[in-house]
Structure 1
Amino acid sequence: MKSTLVLLLALYGFLALFATAVTSSRLRADERDIDLGESDYQCPEGLYVAPHETQCELYYICASGGTPTHLYQCRDDLLFDLKYYGCNFKDQTECGDRLAPFTCPSPSGQFPIREGTCDSRYYVCTNDVAKLQVCPNGGIFDAASSACVATACPTTTTPAVPTAPGLFECPAPSGNFPSPYSCSQYYVCVDGTALLFECAAGLYYNAPLDICDWPSNVNCNLPTSSVNI
Protein backbone atom coordinates (compact mmCIF):
# COMPACT_ATOMS: atom_id res chain seq x y z
CA MET A 1 0.00 0.00 0.00
CA LYS A 2 2.79 2.37 0.94
CA SER A 3 4.67 1.64 -2.27
CA THR A 4 1.50 2.31 -4.29
CA LEU A 5 1.06 5.67 -2.55
CA VAL A 6 4.67 6.61 -3.26
CA LEU A 7 4.21 5.63 -6.88
CA LEU A 8 1.06 7.76 -7.19
CA LEU A 9 2.77 10.76 -5.61
CA ALA A 10 5.72 10.36 -7.96
CA LEU A 11 3.38 10.14 -10.94
CA TYR A 12 1.47 13.23 -9.78
CA GLY A 13 4.73 15.13 -9.42
CA PHE A 14 5.81 14.11 -12.91
CA LEU A 15 2.49 15.23 -14.40
CA ALA A 16 2.75 18.56 -12.59
CA LEU A 17 6.25 19.13 -13.92
CA PHE A 18 5.13 18.12 -17.41
CA ALA A 19 2.20 20.56 -17.31
CA THR A 20 4.49 23.33 -16.12
CA ALA A 21 6.94 22.61 -18.92
CA VAL A 22 4.17 22.66 -21.53
CA THR A 23 2.74 25.91 -20.16
CA SER A 24 6.18 27.42 -20.05
CA SER A 25 6.90 26.50 -23.64
CA ARG A 26 3.59 27.97 -24.76
CA LEU A 27 4.37 31.21 -22.97
CA ARG A 28 7.81 31.58 -24.52
CA ALA A 29 8.29 33.67 -27.68
CA ASP A 30 11.04 32.92 -30.14
CA GLU A 31 14.10 34.77 -28.86
CA ARG A 32 14.62 36.25 -32.32
CA ASP A 33 11.20 37.95 -32.32
CA ILE A 34 10.95 41.57 -31.22
CA ASP A 35 9.48 42.34 -27.80
CA LEU A 36 7.44 45.56 -28.19
CA GLY A 37 6.63 45.81 -24.49
CA GLU A 38 3.69 45.28 -22.18
CA SER A 39 0.10 45.42 -23.44
CA ASP A 40 -3.30 45.80 -21.79
CA TYR A 41 -5.01 43.54 -24.35
CA GLN A 42 -7.12 40.82 -22.70
CA CYS A 43 -6.44 37.37 -24.14
CA PRO A 44 -9.36 34.96 -24.63
CA GLU A 45 -9.64 32.35 -21.90
CA GLY A 46 -7.32 29.40 -22.41
CA LEU A 47 -5.05 31.06 -24.97
CA TYR A 48 -1.37 31.58 -24.23
CA VAL A 49 -0.54 33.04 -27.62
CA ALA A 50 -2.98 35.36 -29.41
CA PRO A 51 -2.80 37.14 -32.79
CA HIS A 52 -2.91 40.92 -32.91
CA GLU A 53 -6.33 42.33 -33.79
CA THR A 54 -5.36 44.07 -37.04
CA GLN A 55 -1.66 43.49 -37.87
CA CYS A 56 -0.49 40.14 -39.22
CA GLU A 57 3.13 40.52 -38.10
CA LEU A 58 2.20 41.02 -34.42
CA TYR A 59 1.06 38.66 -31.65
CA TYR A 60 0.57 38.57 -27.89
CA ILE A 61 2.19 36.32 -25.28
CA CYS A 62 -0.37 35.87 -22.50
CA ALA A 63 0.05 35.03 -18.83
CA SER A 64 -1.57 31.94 -17.35
CA GLY A 65 -4.42 33.99 -15.92
CA GLY A 66 -5.57 35.14 -19.35
CA THR A 67 -3.96 38.58 -19.08
CA PRO A 68 -1.42 39.40 -21.79
CA THR A 69 2.03 40.47 -20.74
CA HIS A 70 3.82 41.48 -23.92
CA LEU A 71 3.25 42.34 -27.56
CA TYR A 72 5.69 40.75 -30.01
CA GLN A 73 6.63 41.33 -33.64
CA CYS A 74 7.70 38.40 -35.80
CA ARG A 75 11.37 38.44 -36.76
CA ASP A 76 12.56 39.33 -40.25
CA ASP A 77 9.62 39.39 -42.72
CA LEU A 78 7.67 36.56 -41.08
CA LEU A 79 3.95 36.84 -40.27
CA PHE A 80 1.87 35.33 -37.47
CA ASP A 81 -0.01 32.39 -38.98
CA LEU A 82 -3.54 31.68 -37.70
CA LYS A 83 -3.19 27.98 -38.56
CA TYR A 84 0.34 27.41 -37.30
CA TYR A 85 -0.14 29.89 -34.40
CA GLY A 86 3.41 31.07 -34.76
CA CYS A 87 5.56 33.13 -37.10
CA ASN A 88 5.68 31.71 -40.60
CA PHE A 89 6.77 32.61 -44.14
CA LYS A 90 4.55 35.13 -45.97
CA ASP A 91 3.49 32.78 -48.75
CA GLN A 92 2.46 30.14 -46.21
CA THR A 93 0.68 32.40 -43.72
CA GLU A 94 -3.07 32.71 -43.17
CA CYS A 95 -3.63 36.32 -42.03
CA GLY A 96 -7.44 36.35 -42.14
CA ASP A 97 -8.64 39.97 -41.93
CA ARG A 98 -5.37 41.17 -40.41
CA LEU A 99 -3.05 43.33 -42.53
CA ALA A 100 0.51 42.47 -43.46
CA PRO A 101 3.12 45.28 -43.55
CA PHE A 102 2.46 47.38 -46.66
CA THR A 103 5.09 48.36 -49.23
CA CYS A 104 4.15 51.31 -51.43
CA PRO A 105 4.01 50.25 -55.12
CA SER A 106 5.14 53.77 -55.99
CA PRO A 107 6.32 56.70 -53.83
CA SER A 108 2.97 58.52 -53.93
CA GLY A 109 -0.64 57.54 -54.54
CA GLN A 110 -3.62 55.67 -53.12
CA PHE A 111 -3.66 51.87 -53.09
CA PRO A 112 -5.91 48.99 -51.91
CA ILE A 113 -4.87 47.05 -48.82
CA ARG A 114 -4.62 43.92 -51.01
CA GLU A 115 -4.88 43.35 -54.74
CA GLY A 116 -8.37 42.24 -55.74
CA THR A 117 -9.85 43.07 -52.32
CA CYS A 118 -13.13 44.96 -51.89
CA ASP A 119 -12.60 46.89 -48.65
CA SER A 120 -13.26 50.28 -47.08
CA ARG A 121 -9.62 50.49 -45.99
CA TYR A 122 -6.83 51.72 -48.27
CA TYR A 123 -3.33 53.16 -48.08
CA VAL A 124 -2.15 56.65 -48.99
CA CYS A 125 1.55 56.70 -49.84
CA THR A 126 3.55 59.92 -49.60
CA ASN A 127 7.28 59.72 -50.26
CA ASP A 128 7.12 55.92 -49.81
CA VAL A 129 5.47 56.25 -46.38
CA ALA A 130 2.14 54.42 -46.18
CA LYS A 131 -0.75 55.59 -44.01
CA LEU A 132 -3.89 53.49 -43.55
CA GLN A 133 -7.16 55.32 -44.28
CA VAL A 134 -10.84 54.33 -44.20
CA CYS A 135 -13.45 55.47 -46.71
CA PRO A 136 -16.09 57.72 -45.06
CA ASN A 137 -19.77 56.86 -44.68
CA GLY A 138 -19.38 53.18 -45.47
CA GLY A 139 -17.75 53.75 -48.86
CA ILE A 140 -15.63 51.13 -50.61
CA PHE A 141 -12.17 51.76 -52.04
CA ASP A 142 -12.08 51.12 -55.78
CA ALA A 143 -8.55 50.18 -56.83
CA ALA A 144 -9.06 50.92 -60.52
CA SER A 145 -10.00 54.56 -59.91
CA SER A 146 -8.02 54.87 -56.64
CA ALA A 147 -11.05 56.44 -54.97
CA CYS A 148 -13.73 55.72 -52.41
CA VAL A 149 -17.07 54.89 -54.03
CA ALA A 150 -20.54 54.83 -52.51
CA THR A 151 -21.43 51.44 -54.03
CA ALA A 152 -19.90 47.99 -54.22
CA CYS A 153 -16.58 47.79 -56.05
CA PRO A 154 -17.18 48.71 -59.71
CA THR A 155 -15.83 46.37 -62.37
CA THR A 156 -14.94 49.03 -64.95
CA THR A 157 -13.22 52.34 -64.27
CA THR A 158 -10.79 54.65 -66.00
CA PRO A 159 -7.21 54.54 -64.65
CA ALA A 160 -5.39 57.63 -63.47
CA VAL A 161 -3.40 59.67 -65.98
CA PRO A 162 -0.91 62.51 -65.39
CA THR A 163 -2.35 65.99 -65.79
CA ALA A 164 -0.87 68.13 -68.54
CA PRO A 165 1.23 71.02 -67.12
CA GLY A 166 -0.69 74.18 -66.40
CA LEU A 167 -4.20 72.71 -66.78
CA PHE A 168 -4.87 72.31 -63.07
CA GLU A 169 -3.19 74.13 -60.23
CA CYS A 170 -3.35 72.30 -56.89
CA PRO A 171 -5.10 74.44 -54.23
CA ALA A 172 -2.86 72.73 -51.65
CA PRO A 173 0.28 70.59 -51.96
CA SER A 174 -1.62 67.40 -51.07
CA GLY A 175 -5.27 66.37 -51.16
CA ASN A 176 -8.19 65.45 -53.42
CA PHE A 177 -10.01 68.18 -55.37
CA PRO A 178 -12.98 68.22 -57.78
CA SER A 179 -12.28 68.81 -61.44
CA PRO A 180 -13.44 72.18 -62.81
CA TYR A 181 -14.11 70.42 -66.13
CA SER A 182 -16.14 67.31 -65.28
CA CYS A 183 -18.52 66.04 -62.58
CA SER A 184 -17.08 62.53 -62.78
CA GLN A 185 -13.42 63.53 -62.49
CA TYR A 186 -11.21 64.75 -59.65
CA TYR A 187 -7.56 65.49 -58.99
CA VAL A 188 -5.23 63.94 -56.44
CA CYS A 189 -2.42 66.33 -55.54
CA VAL A 190 0.78 64.91 -54.08
CA ASP A 191 3.52 67.38 -53.21
CA GLY A 192 2.01 69.89 -55.66
CA THR A 193 1.79 67.44 -58.56
CA ALA A 194 -1.75 66.74 -59.83
CA LEU A 195 -3.02 63.39 -61.09
CA LEU A 196 -6.37 63.14 -62.86
CA PHE A 197 -8.79 60.38 -61.79
CA GLU A 198 -12.22 59.43 -63.07
CA CYS A 199 -15.05 57.82 -61.11
CA ALA A 200 -16.67 54.59 -62.22
CA ALA A 201 -19.31 54.92 -64.94
CA GLY A 202 -22.46 56.64 -63.70
CA LEU A 203 -20.88 58.15 -60.56
CA TYR A 204 -19.94 61.76 -59.72
CA TYR A 205 -17.15 62.94 -57.45
CA ASN A 206 -18.58 64.09 -54.12
CA ALA A 207 -15.94 66.52 -52.81
CA PRO A 208 -17.27 67.01 -49.24
CA LEU A 209 -17.29 63.24 -48.67
CA ASP A 210 -14.24 62.54 -50.88
CA ILE A 211 -16.01 59.63 -52.62
CA CYS A 212 -17.49 58.76 -55.99
CA ASP A 213 -21.23 58.99 -55.34
CA TRP A 214 -24.63 58.80 -57.02
CA PRO A 215 -25.34 61.94 -59.13
CA SER A 216 -28.42 62.68 -57.02
CA ASN A 217 -26.13 63.22 -54.02
CA VAL A 218 -23.77 65.60 -55.81
CA ASN A 219 -24.40 69.24 -56.73
CA CYS A 220 -22.64 69.49 -60.08
CA ASN A 221 -23.72 71.02 -63.41
CA LEU A 222 -20.57 70.17 -65.37
CA PRO A 223 -20.31 67.45 -68.04
CA THR A 224 -19.93 63.85 -66.84
CA SER A 225 -16.56 63.41 -68.53
CA SER A 226 -13.86 65.61 -70.00
CA VAL A 227 -12.62 65.75 -73.56
CA ASN A 228 -9.04 66.77 -74.33
CA ILE A 229 -8.65 68.94 -71.27
Structure 2
Amino acid sequence: MKDTVLLLLCAVALAHSYGRNPQQCNCDPSEESKKICESHNGLDDVLVAHEHCDKFYKCTNGKAVAYQCPDNLLYDAVAERCEWPHEVNCGNRPISDGNDCNGIDVSQAPPSSTTSRPINEGTCNCRPDEAPSICAANGSDGVLVAHENCNQFYKCDNEKPVALYCFGNLLYNPYTEQCDWPENVDCGDRVIPNP
Protein backbone atom coordinates (compact mmCIF):
# COMPACT_ATOMS: atom_id res chain seq x y z
CA MET A 1 0.00 0.00 0.00
CA LYS A 2 2.79 2.42 0.96
CA ASP A 3 4.62 1.58 -2.29
CA THR A 4 1.45 2.37 -4.26
CA VAL A 5 1.08 5.73 -2.52
CA LEU A 6 4.78 6.51 -3.13
CA LEU A 7 4.40 5.64 -6.82
CA LEU A 8 1.31 7.85 -7.03
CA LEU A 9 3.18 10.75 -5.38
CA CYS A 10 6.06 10.32 -7.83
CA ALA A 11 3.62 10.30 -10.75
CA VAL A 12 2.01 13.53 -9.51
CA ALA A 13 5.45 15.15 -9.13
CA LEU A 14 6.44 14.06 -12.65
CA ALA A 15 3.18 15.32 -14.11
CA HIS A 16 3.77 18.75 -12.59
CA SER A 17 7.47 18.98 -13.40
CA TYR A 18 7.12 19.76 -17.15
CA GLY A 19 10.71 18.89 -18.01
CA ARG A 20 12.21 19.88 -14.66
CA ASN A 21 14.32 17.44 -12.71
CA PRO A 22 11.70 15.47 -10.72
CA GLN A 23 14.11 15.01 -7.80
CA GLN A 24 14.20 18.79 -7.26
CA CYS A 25 10.55 19.76 -7.27
CA ASN A 26 10.20 23.53 -7.69
CA CYS A 27 6.49 23.45 -6.93
CA ASP A 28 5.01 25.03 -3.80
CA PRO A 29 4.93 22.07 -1.39
CA SER A 30 2.10 23.58 0.65
CA GLU A 31 -0.19 23.85 -2.40
CA GLU A 32 0.95 20.43 -3.58
CA SER A 33 0.35 18.94 -0.12
CA LYS A 34 -3.19 20.33 -0.07
CA LYS A 35 -3.92 18.70 -3.43
CA ILE A 36 -2.34 15.39 -2.43
CA CYS A 37 -4.15 15.22 0.93
CA GLU A 38 -7.50 16.19 -0.59
CA SER A 39 -7.11 13.45 -3.21
CA HIS A 40 -6.27 10.86 -0.51
CA ASN A 41 -9.11 11.65 1.88
CA GLY A 42 -9.22 8.91 4.47
CA LEU A 43 -5.56 7.89 4.14
CA ASP A 44 -3.91 9.29 7.24
CA ASP A 45 -0.42 7.91 6.66
CA VAL A 46 0.46 9.96 3.55
CA LEU A 47 3.55 12.14 4.16
CA VAL A 48 4.48 15.14 1.99
CA ALA A 49 7.58 17.35 2.03
CA HIS A 50 7.12 20.79 3.64
CA GLU A 51 8.60 23.95 2.14
CA HIS A 52 11.17 23.84 4.98
CA CYS A 53 13.56 20.90 5.11
CA ASP A 54 13.12 20.27 8.84
CA LYS A 55 9.34 19.85 8.54
CA PHE A 56 6.83 17.66 6.72
CA TYR A 57 3.09 17.38 6.22
CA LYS A 58 0.99 14.41 7.28
CA CYS A 59 -2.44 13.99 5.72
CA THR A 60 -5.16 13.82 8.37
CA ASN A 61 -8.81 13.60 7.30
CA GLY A 62 -7.94 15.01 3.88
CA LYS A 63 -6.02 17.99 5.30
CA ALA A 64 -2.27 18.66 5.41
CA VAL A 65 -1.01 19.06 8.99
CA ALA A 66 2.55 20.39 9.44
CA TYR A 67 5.00 18.61 11.74
CA GLN A 68 8.49 19.54 12.91
CA CYS A 69 11.23 16.90 12.83
CA PRO A 70 12.92 16.22 16.18
CA ASP A 71 15.89 18.46 17.02
CA ASN A 72 18.82 18.31 14.57
CA LEU A 73 16.98 16.09 12.04
CA LEU A 74 15.75 16.94 8.53
CA TYR A 75 12.89 15.45 6.52
CA ASP A 76 13.94 13.06 3.75
CA ALA A 77 11.13 13.10 1.18
CA VAL A 78 12.37 9.92 -0.51
CA ALA A 79 12.64 7.84 2.69
CA GLU A 80 9.55 9.59 4.16
CA ARG A 81 11.13 10.11 7.58
CA CYS A 82 13.34 12.49 9.54
CA GLU A 83 17.04 11.70 9.14
CA TRP A 84 20.44 13.09 10.09
CA PRO A 85 21.41 16.10 7.93
CA HIS A 86 24.26 14.32 6.12
CA GLU A 87 21.72 11.78 4.79
CA VAL A 88 19.21 14.33 3.41
CA ASN A 89 19.22 16.31 0.16
CA CYS A 90 17.08 19.38 0.91
CA GLY A 91 17.30 20.71 -2.65
CA ASN A 92 15.90 24.25 -2.55
CA ARG A 93 14.04 23.77 0.76
CA PRO A 94 15.58 25.96 3.51
CA ILE A 95 15.80 24.98 7.16
CA SER A 96 13.31 26.98 9.23
CA ASP A 97 14.07 29.08 12.27
CA GLY A 98 11.63 26.91 14.24
CA ASN A 99 9.08 29.67 14.85
CA ASP A 100 7.05 29.56 11.66
CA CYS A 101 5.30 26.19 11.71
CA ASN A 102 1.75 26.57 10.43
CA GLY A 103 0.57 23.42 12.11
CA ILE A 104 1.36 21.50 15.23
CA ASP A 105 4.89 20.74 16.26
CA VAL A 106 4.14 17.91 18.66
CA SER A 107 6.77 15.71 17.07
CA GLN A 108 9.59 18.05 18.07
CA ALA A 109 11.49 17.06 21.17
CA PRO A 110 11.57 19.94 23.65
CA PRO A 111 14.82 21.87 24.15
CA SER A 112 16.93 20.72 27.07
CA SER A 113 16.80 24.05 28.93
CA THR A 114 13.62 26.03 28.30
CA THR A 115 10.68 25.75 25.97
CA SER A 116 8.80 28.49 24.14
CA ARG A 117 5.39 26.89 24.65
CA PRO A 118 3.66 27.10 28.01
CA ILE A 119 3.81 23.99 30.15
CA ASN A 120 1.18 23.47 32.81
CA GLU A 121 3.22 21.60 35.36
CA GLY A 122 1.15 19.01 37.15
CA THR A 123 -1.87 19.36 34.85
CA CYS A 124 -2.60 17.75 31.54
CA ASN A 125 -5.25 16.19 29.35
CA CYS A 126 -4.02 12.75 30.43
CA ARG A 127 -7.21 10.69 30.32
CA PRO A 128 -7.97 9.29 26.86
CA ASP A 129 -11.56 8.50 27.88
CA GLU A 130 -12.17 12.25 28.33
CA ALA A 131 -11.17 13.11 24.74
CA PRO A 132 -14.77 13.12 23.37
CA SER A 133 -16.04 15.48 26.09
CA ILE A 134 -12.96 17.73 25.94
CA CYS A 135 -13.23 18.03 22.15
CA ALA A 136 -17.01 18.62 22.26
CA ALA A 137 -16.47 21.89 24.16
CA ASN A 138 -16.66 25.20 22.28
CA GLY A 139 -13.23 26.52 21.27
CA SER A 140 -11.55 23.14 21.66
CA ASP A 141 -10.09 22.94 18.12
CA GLY A 142 -6.36 22.28 18.41
CA VAL A 143 -6.52 20.96 21.99
CA LEU A 144 -4.33 17.87 22.49
CA VAL A 145 -5.35 14.88 24.64
CA ALA A 146 -3.44 11.70 25.51
CA HIS A 147 -4.40 8.57 23.53
CA GLU A 148 -4.72 5.00 24.86
CA ASN A 149 -1.48 4.18 23.01
CA CYS A 150 1.54 6.08 24.28
CA ASN A 151 2.83 6.80 20.75
CA GLN A 152 -0.44 8.50 19.79
CA PHE A 153 -2.49 11.52 20.88
CA TYR A 154 -5.80 13.12 20.01
CA LYS A 155 -6.12 16.55 18.42
CA CYS A 156 -9.55 18.16 18.67
CA ASP A 157 -10.88 19.09 15.23
CA ASN A 158 -14.47 20.24 14.60
CA GLU A 159 -15.46 19.13 18.12
CA LYS A 160 -14.20 15.56 17.54
CA PRO A 161 -10.98 13.84 18.69
CA VAL A 162 -8.71 12.89 15.76
CA ALA A 163 -6.03 10.27 16.53
CA LEU A 164 -2.51 11.18 15.36
CA TYR A 165 0.79 9.32 15.71
CA CYS A 166 4.10 10.51 17.04
CA PHE A 167 6.89 10.17 14.50
CA GLY A 168 9.30 7.22 14.64
CA ASN A 169 9.89 5.87 18.14
CA LEU A 170 8.75 9.05 19.92
CA LEU A 171 6.05 8.89 22.61
CA TYR A 172 3.41 11.50 23.47
CA ASN A 173 4.05 13.51 26.63
CA PRO A 174 0.73 15.03 27.75
CA TYR A 175 2.46 17.39 30.21
CA THR A 176 4.49 19.15 27.50
CA GLU A 177 1.95 18.43 24.73
CA GLN A 178 4.77 17.17 22.51
CA CYS A 179 6.09 13.89 21.23
CA ASP A 180 9.35 13.17 23.00
CA TRP A 181 12.08 10.58 23.38
CA PRO A 182 10.90 7.51 25.37
CA GLU A 183 13.24 8.19 28.29
CA ASN A 184 11.45 11.54 28.86
CA VAL A 185 7.89 10.16 28.90
CA ASP A 186 5.96 8.39 31.67
CA CYS A 187 3.24 6.44 29.84
CA GLY A 188 1.44 5.45 33.03
CA ASP A 189 -1.43 3.09 32.10
CA ARG A 190 -1.22 3.90 28.38
CA VAL A 191 -0.10 1.06 26.09
CA ILE A 192 3.54 1.22 25.03
CA PRO A 193 3.84 -0.01 21.42
CA ASN A 194 6.28 -2.70 20.37
CA PRO A 195 9.23 -1.33 18.34
TM-score bracket for this pair, using the shorter chain length: 0.3 to 0.5
More strand by share: 1
Q: What's the TM-score, normalizing by structure 1?
A: 0.35
Give the greater-gyration-radius structure (CA): 1
More helix by share: 2
Higher relative contact order (CA 8 A, sep 6+): 2
